[in-house]
Amino acid sequence: MTTRTARGWRRAARNRSAGGAGMYGPQRRRLLADLTGTVLEIGPGAGANTAHFPRGVRWLGLEPNPYLHERLREQANGPVIGGAAEAIPLADHSVDAVVGTIVLCSVEDQRRVLAEIVRVLRPGGRYVFLEHVAAPEGTWSRWAQKTVAPVSRWLDGGCDPARETGRAIDAAGFARVETEEFLLHGPFGVKIPHLTGWASTPG
């Protein structure tokens, strides 16, 4: 880990820890309510989802930021693994569900991450997600996303608010994808589109 990378991880850890765990609370509760079995959470951050997992799930977290591991271990009921979602250190077809909330905005390679999710899911397994996505081209919100993207990437672990994440999920090879869109209102009239839902593997 280079000094520059370490500084970036520490900065992102401070920002994630400072963010309210209550953000997206209703969406998180609904998204996670029916999960069962072995659940892998990619990029759990500071543990905002921890309180919403049903009792009885076998949770494990894959978190690339080492400065968040201690806090996660205090909150989560399961092991925390270091590593990137582009190379999930689990066997094929080894988990019943994969959870990712506000994650695909920050990964280096969305296609690779989604391919890894498909690989580790058991037949009929589900990937459940909540992501902010690019606003339509030509809108004030899209211009604002592109304008703040360099600052967002620097402050928040590489987060790019203008990614076409919905298209990437649709193209990832899932058997079925169900999504729902909603808007959050930001400053200066910016409307931030979000996508939540699930995608299942064949089986």
pLDDT digits (tens, 9 = 90+) for 60-98: 999 998 888 988 888 888 999 999 999 999 999 999 999
**38-47, 144-153, 157-166, 183-192: range with lowest mean pLDDT:** 144-153
Residue linked to tokens 């506000």: 102
By residue range, what is the domain housing residue 143? 3-200
Q: Measured between alpha carbons, how far is 76 from 59 in angstroms, rounded to an integer?
A: 8
User: Looking at the 3D structure of the chain, how many domains does it have?
Assistant: 1
Question: What's the mean per-residue pLDDT of the chain?
Answer: 85
pLDDT of residue 19: 44
pLDDT of residue 18: 39
Q: What is the CATH number of the domain that holds 32?
A: 3.40.50.150
Whole-prediction pTM: 0.84
Q: Measured between alpha carbons, how far is 81 from 141 in angstroms, rounded to an integer?
A: 36
Pairing of strands 95-101, 121-132: parallel
Average pLDDT over residues 163-177: 95
